[in-house]
Amino acid sequence: MSRVVEQVLTSQIGNILEKSLQGHRPTKSECVELLQSDDIHAIGEAAGILVRRRFGKAASFVNNIILNYTNVCVTDCKFCAFYRPPKHDEAYTLTIPQIRARVKSAWEMFKIRQVLIQGGHNPKLNIEYYEEAFNTIRSEFPKVGIHGLSASEVDTIARVEKTSTKEVLSRLKQAGLQSVPGAGAEILVDRVKDIISPKKTSSKDWLRIMEEAHKTGLPASATLMYGHVESYQDIAEHMYRIVELQEKTGGFMAFIPWNFEPNNTLLQKQGTVTQGSGGLRLLKMIAISRLLYDNIIPHIQSSWLTNGVGMAQIALSYGADDFGGTLIGEEVVSCTGARSTELTDAKIRGAIRQAGYTPIERDNFYNPIS
């Protein structure tokens, strides 16, 4: 037995970690116990062993842009600093030529392989807007994949069109949508959602729409936003709801835990949450995600955007295998003033190498790009 493994197994949560190293998923109650533990190092060591078994010393990333096509939104989430109500002086919606120009510029300057398309819940946009945008991107830039629209955006489009979310997903896939991000989940416990986003898609509907996406042939990411009003039990409940859906469909490619940034949000103004949760909490969340999902969701993202490049480098030793993506022109998180949201391909490669790993560029299906 190596010295590292011995240190892991002799910690107070050693029995849970030992079972994890043997391929057994922590139970929901054990997940809570891990979340409550201060032994972040032991949890991280166990997660590091698992991720190195699966990926060695390689770390993937995607060369992409985030395209925030509109900030007009009617759901008024208390954790969001980005949205503007309809007719606000700062409200905007990109035209199709503007979308095309942004993708064209990013392709010519950076040779991006993915565009992540997300925005507000804008009741003035019908499905034809999205179909035209997707068709334009896929026909003119066939090497650029489309990873777009949260479950709650899909739900909004269905309400505008007075049709089913399943029909919306089918049409969007036909127009060029290839995969779906996990945004809109936050915490899949309605008690929490009723506090931070009472007008948004319910937990049940988020899971239903994701299941429909998987069955339509649209793989997805799953996310968890922590560090606001949730409890450890809420986090465990969320993570196990993802487990249950993944065992049913196998449609999630990656899991991304990310921390809530309170700056310029209503939750901060109301005094509900006054500061972020910090880097150690991120490392614990990354590590527990690896222990829980290693056998069913292969990829855990390091979440540099809200915690910085340095923490993302450390996260590669705590269970993450994916660094996330390059970002040029991101607007949502930058509205909180949390971090610099500009990171190029060369900087990500350098950061991964500095951490002792080999960078692997990927597409939006996590396939390596030669």
**pLDDT tens digits in sequence order for the chain, 370 residues long:** 455 566 566 667 999 999 999 999 999 999 999 999 999 999 999 999 999 999 999 999 999 999 999 999 888 766 677 778 888 888 899 999 999 999 999 999 999 999 999 998 999 999 999 999 999 999 999 999 999 999 999 999 999 999 999 999 999 999 999 999 998 899 999 999 998 888 889 999 999 999 999 999 999 999 998 989 899 999 999 999 999 999 999 999 999 998 877 777 777 777 776 767 678 999 999 999 999 999 999 999 997 777 788 999 999 999 999 999 887 654 444 444 444 457 889 999 999 999 999 999 999 999 999 7
CA distance 132 to 215: 23
Cβ contact 312:304 at 8 Å? yes
Cβ contact 67:114 at 8 Å? no
Determine phi and psi for 102, rounding to 5 degrees. -65, -40
Nearest C-alpha neighbor of 281 from the set 49, 72, 56, 37? 37
pLDDT at 129 (0 to 100): 98
Q: Compute how many other C-beta atoms are within 10 angstroms of the C-beta atom of residue 163.
A: 13
CA distance 250 to 228: 29
pLDDT at 227 (0 to 100): 85
Q: Please give, one letter per residue, the 3-state secondary structure of the chain.
A: CCHHHHHHHCCCCHHHHHHHHCCCCCCHHHHHHHHHCCCHHHHHHHHHHHHHHHHCCEEEEECEEEEECECECCCCCCCCCCCECCCCCCCCECCHHHHHHHHHHHHHHHCCCEEEEECCCCCCCCHHHHHHHHHHHHHHCCCCEEEECCHHHHHHHHHHHCCCHHHHHHHHHHHCCCEECCCCCCCCCHHHHHHHCCCCCCHHHHHHHHHHHHHHCCCEEEEEEECCCCCHHHHHHHHHHHHHHHHHHCCEEEEEEEECCCCCCHHHHCCCCCCCCCHHHHHHHHHHHHHHHCCCCCEEECCHHHHCHHHHHHHCCCCCCEEEECECCCCCHHHHCCCCCCECHHHHHHHHHHCCCEEEEECCCCCECC
Cβ contact 218:177 at 8 Å? yes
pLDDT at 299 (0 to 100): 98
pLDDT at 8 (0 to 100): 65
The amino acid that residue 68 corresponds to is N
Kindly give the pairing relationship between strand 145-148 and strand 114-118.
Answer: parallel
Q: Compute how many other C-beta atoms are within 10 angstroms of the C-beta atom of residue 270.
A: 10
Distance between first and last Cα of the chain = 38
pLDDT at 141 (0 to 100): 98
Structure tokens at 269: 């103004």
CA distance 200 to 163: 18
The amino acid that residue 17 corresponds to is L
Residues 6 or more apart whose CB falls under 8 angstroms from that of 38 comprise none
Q: Compute how many other C-beta atoms are within 10 angstroms of the C-beta atom of residue 198.
A: 12
Structure tokens at 104: 């064209």
pLDDT at 12 (0 to 100): 75
pLDDT at 332 (0 to 100): 41
